[in-house]
Structure 1
């Protein structure tokens, strides 16, 4: 089973829904956590039905800021222990296995709120020997190598994060697929890249899930990448990513197929249009792969 976390930056366009559907098909997450939804639960329930998950819990935004959504399938036993505008704390059990704590976070973006946030997060657990996993957008750069561009790294801003990690002897699970989980989506000299989204685990949790891996999956639908926690390692169930074969350019009709796929979509929404263009072009080129195998 996998757990997905994504700062969707507002659930307002078709690209967001399409990305969720693609992620659900590719990684088959049993739990989906969305932060910065900027929408109330009455709206998010409609999207939940399209993704086909069973249960849900919501923290409504304050005005148009923030907002959290937590969705999960029936094979996951989940109890909501506590929640606030920046977190949802739960106890979970998957397929009847032993319970463990799972906390979803959306760290505050403002410096004057960070200390209170990390201290309140620490108050959720009574001791450091519990099986605990924390996943989500920390909204914090913790080392110089986690940032490219923009203002210089400020080590003092990470103090409360490290205090929290030390208190509970937590480890950070590396993310396969890239280093940076957030981009300001600008180019060249104006580009800023940061690692903000994280998976933190206790030693006891890592002993229970020794094959667990974290995966980063970039998307243009949000300025944040999706992150996945695969509890028991990769499985053959996951869909194989599409890769363009260089040898296809030698095939008759390759150029026509790419042009047909790219020009088959004309949508006013630039993000949605771009994703559809890629999808249609992929279908056209995959057709060449089938012909080649035949």
Structure 2
């Protein structure tokens, strides 16, 4: 993570979070950060350039969440991994550890590049053996890191994952990790869901300023307003408003859709493309999807700005 604290403060506000921990990047070394909502009972325990540890307090049980970055350089690996193992050893409770470990644990987590064995210590394997830890598995793209993009010459690895002690897994038997699409990064983000739900409620339709970004918006409104209606001037106005509202509702459902639905769909498509074998065609498809995603993210940003203004006006 190369972003500074001021940039991360903006990101925190834009996604509705209130709390932030930042370990700034120094030189070529990346930093780390954690964000959460004040409604979550979470307490920072330790943080440095390689890890962030927080304690999650729940009614059922307390547990530790560790975000870890394993240095890729041999000279720095030993110290970082020894610190992580000492930390996990000190926990007398449930824990889960996620992040970029910069190690694989089997040959099927490699695509392309050199498959030759290495005499160097695999600290991830040692940790799993030492603590009897469980790999939480994943859904989505099998690989989480790619070199030279995701095209023909891509080299892919599963360097990022989540592991936990047996007690944590027993406490959260339905917990799962999803590999999301890699957007403007060589790493795919991980999403840990401790209690997956089967369905989500839909939000009611509301017209928002971001829809003006779509070229079809004006024509939808113009066509509805130009419909021939009868009655007094007031009745005609009401009928045209009703027709416009219905046309926009239909357009929203059939064509435009909900922002997050569209964004999720595009991210899923990107993740699916990144699952496929590297090829020129897949690279072109990914490029188009990333362009579409950027537009929908821009629309979403406009929507949230409008919502914030509305909330601020209501509060006076």
| 8 Å Cα contact 1:174/1:213 also seen in 2 | yes
Shift of 1:149: 1.1
Shift of 1:278: 7.3
Shift of 1:211: 0.8
Structure 2: gaps spanning 5 or more residues: 202-259, 267-286, 299-316
Matched residue SS, 2:64 = strand
Cα distance in structure 2, aligned partners of 1:74 and 1:128: 24
The reply on whether 1:174 has 2:192 as its aligned counterpart is: no
Shift of 1:74: 2.0
The reply on whether 1:66 has 2:30 as its aligned counterpart is: yes
Cα distance in structure 2, aligned partners of 1:176 and 1:153: 27
> Which residue in 2 is equivalent to 1:242?
265
| 8 Å Cα contact 1:142/1:158 also seen in 2 | no
RMSD between superposed Cα atoms in Å: 2.7
| 8 Å Cα contact 2:177/2:190 also seen in 1 | yes
Give the 3 Å change call, closer, same or farther, for CA 155–202 of structure 1 in structure 2: farther
Shift of 1:144: 1.2
Give the 3 Å change call, closer, same or farther, for CA 158–273 of structure 1 in structure 2: same
| 8 Å Cα contact 1:144/1:153 also seen in 2 | no
Q: How does 1:259-278 map to 2 (within 5 A)?
A: 273-276=291-294
Q: How does 1:190-209 map to 2 (within 5 A)?
A: 190-209=153-172
Q: How does 1:1-294 map to 2 (within 5 A)?
A: 37-94=1-58, 96-126=59-89, 130-157=93-120, 159-184=122-147, 185-188=149-152, 190-237=153-200, 241-242=264-265, 273-276=291-294
Cα distance in structure 2, aligned partners of 1:271 and 1:242: 10
Cα distance in structure 2, aligned partners of 1:164 and 1:234: 31
- What CA deviation, in whole Å up to 9, does each residue of 1:56-100 have, x standing for no partner? 111110125301110011232122211221101121124x44211
Higher share in helix: 2
| 8 Å Cα contact 2:175/2:196 also seen in 1 | yes
Matched residue SS, 1:161 = helix
TM-score between the two structures when normalised by the length of structure 1: 0.66
Cα distance in structure 1, aligned partners of 2:150 and 2:191: 25
| 8 Å Cα contact 2:112/2:155 also seen in 1 | yes
Cα distance in structure 1, aligned partners of 2:198 and 2:40: 19
| 8 Å Cα contact 2:42/2:54 also seen in 1 | yes
Cα distance in structure 1, aligned partners of 2:78 and 2:188: 25
Shift of 1:155: 4.5
| 8 Å Cα contact 2:98/2:163 also seen in 1 | yes
User: Which structure has more RCO (C-alpha within 8 Å, separation ≥ 6)?
Assistant: 1
| 8 Å Cα contact 2:32/2:48 also seen in 1 | no
Matched residue SS, 1:126 = helix
Shift of 1:131: 0.6
TM-score between the two structures when normalised by the length of structure 2: 0.62
Shift of 1:237: 2.5
Larger radius of gyration: 2
Shift of 1:274: 4.9
Cα distance in structure 1, aligned partners of 2:96 and 2:116: 26
Shift of 1:126: 3.5
| 8 Å Cα contact 1:129/1:204 also seen in 2 | no
